[in-house]
Amino acid sequence: MPAAWRHVSEHCWLVPGGVNAVVLEHRGRAVLIDSGPDRDSGKRLLRGIRERSWKLEAILTSHAHADHFGGHAALLRQLDVPVLAPPVEAELMRAPLLEPSYLFHGAAPLAELTSRWFQAEASRVDQVIAAGPLTLIDLPLELLAVDGHAHRQLALRVDDVLVAADAVFAATVAARHPLLFAHDVRAQADAAALVGNDGARLAIPGHGEPDTPAALAQATLAAIDRGHAAIRAALEAHEGAGATTTQVLRHVAQALGASTDDLARWHLLHTTVSAYLSAARARGTCQPRIVDGELRWFAASPLAP
Ligand SMILES: [Zn+2]
């Protein structure tokens, strides 16, 4: 049974779920932000909008992870409205095989990576949007660039609410997923800090309960710090011979209590561990080397400033 819609500010409704969706309403006109993972979530959101006798006029996508735009296609079969999305994400929505493919080193993905959580139905995108002011349904909005968790990602300010999507995670979610998925860890930390400094009264994360921007940012930044520390400990534990990416993954998963028990979770972790290693290499705290045909990571002292 889907949870009841919550009116969080004059123009903003939270539709809570495994993946939070948001509906903006102004004088009977509505904008949907994200559509959940599948056909059912998309149809349910449209039904909720129509039950309120509102007219859906646009769909905005925070980022192109399958669980955030998987409902678009079913919705667009019933209604012809423009779809807005950030750059890069727009391409991933048009060619959704790219998500499981990038999780599998760019190759044709394993079947386990093509479930609805990783590969949504394709959606058209009519307008590519970027950070800055945006007016929809005569409502002044502000978009913020919060890249890092995904390639490109946007948060949206409406009234005194920040729709932050996966730029930040509730502490309860970070406890269940101790290594938060990341494409670019440094950008992810910058994005969380940006959310934390936002003056909004309330921020809505993509998963979990809304909270103050500062509280959500703090939970996210603490999880990122734990990730960095676990990576460092993994590299130190393999000092000398270096660690393969898989060895780092196993060490980090054990240290943080992250589950590695299925192919899909393992690959999500692999991508995120790679993002941390890439960030560490860019900072000069580790070095990749090929040793006897194996990619090995070696701890290094930080580069002199
Ligand atoms: Zn996401």
Does 69 share its domain with 160?
Answer: yes
Q: Note residues around ion ligand 1 (Cβ under 5 angstroms).
A: 65, 166
The alpha carbon of 282 and the centre of ligand 1 are apart by a number of angstroms equal to 24
Does 178 share its domain with 237?
Answer: no
What pLDDT, on the 0 to 100 scale, is given for residue 301?
64
The alpha carbon of 223 and the centre of ligand 1 are apart by a number of angstroms equal to 16
Residue where a domain terminates, one of 223, 243, 274: 223
Whole-number average pLDDT of the chain: 96
* Number of domains making up the chain: 2
Residue where a domain terminates, one of 223, 251, 280: 223
Residue where a domain terminates, one of 223, 241, 258: 223
Does 66 share its domain with 95?
Answer: yes
What pLDDT, on the 0 to 100 scale, is given for residue 78?
96
Does 207 share its domain with 263?
Answer: no
Give residue-wise pLDDT tens across range 87-131: 999 999 999 999 999 999 999 999 999 998 999 999 999 999 999
- CATH number of the domain that residue 232 is part of: 1.10.10
Distances (CA, A) of 243 to 22, 236, 263: 43, 9, 21
Give residue-wise pLDDT tens across range 201-257: 999 999 999 999 999 999 999 999 999 999 999 999 999 999 999 999 999 999 999
The alpha carbon of 64 and the centre of ligand 1 are apart by a number of angstroms equal to 7
Domain that residue 262 falls in:
225-299
- Whether the per-residue pLDDT at 299 is higher than 50: the answer is yes
The answer as to whether 305 is a domain residue is: no
The alpha carbon of 65 and the centre of ligand 1 are apart by a number of angstroms equal to 5
Give residue-wise pLDDT tens across range 245-294: 999 999 999 999 998 989 999 999 999 999 999 999 999 999 999 999 99
